[in-house]
Amino acid sequence: LAILKGALMYGQNPKKIVTRISKYTYGFDCYNPFDPIKHPERLKKVVGGKEKCDNIFDKIISVGEQVMLGQVIKRTYTPAYPEQTEADLPIFRSSNPNPKFTCDEEELITINV
């Protein structure tokens, strides 16, 4: 009944619903400095002469988190290589509130920046 009431309210006035609860945890795939205590050896990669952990799930929204309409979430990433001028940023989702690695989760889409 609550879902039907919410759908009717939204249909009559879309601005009435200003927050939503995230059904999934969303995040980007990125590199972090490799830490043998935290990261599995299989994900170690040498990038620009430095040991990195590949497939890190950089969480932007957690499952169950309230998200405001128009909310902006900012992230800053640095190039993996000095000569890098563009990057593909895969976006992942998970039902896990604290995923660690993207290789264990579902890829939704990749954006090129």
Model confidence pLDDT, tens digit, residues 23-77:
999 999 988 999 999 999 999 999 888 899 999 999 999 999 999 888 888 888 8
Q: Average pLDDT over the chain, rounded to whole? A: 85
Backbone angles phi, psi at 70, to 5 degrees: 80, 5
Q: How far apart are CA 51 and CA 34, in angstroms?
A: 5
The size of the chain, in residues, is 113
- Determine the pLDDT at residue 14: 63
- Determine the pLDDT at residue 33: 94
Strands of the sheet containing 106-112, edge to edge, are 44-47, 50-61, 25-33, 88-94, 106-112
- Determine the pLDDT at residue 35: 96
Reference 29, options 87, 98, 91, 94; nearest CA is 91
- Judged by phi (left if over 0) then psi (alpha if -120 to 50, else beta), residue 105 lies in beta
Contact partners, residue 49, CB within 8 Å, separation at least 6 = none
Q: What are 48's two structure tokens?
A: 């620009």
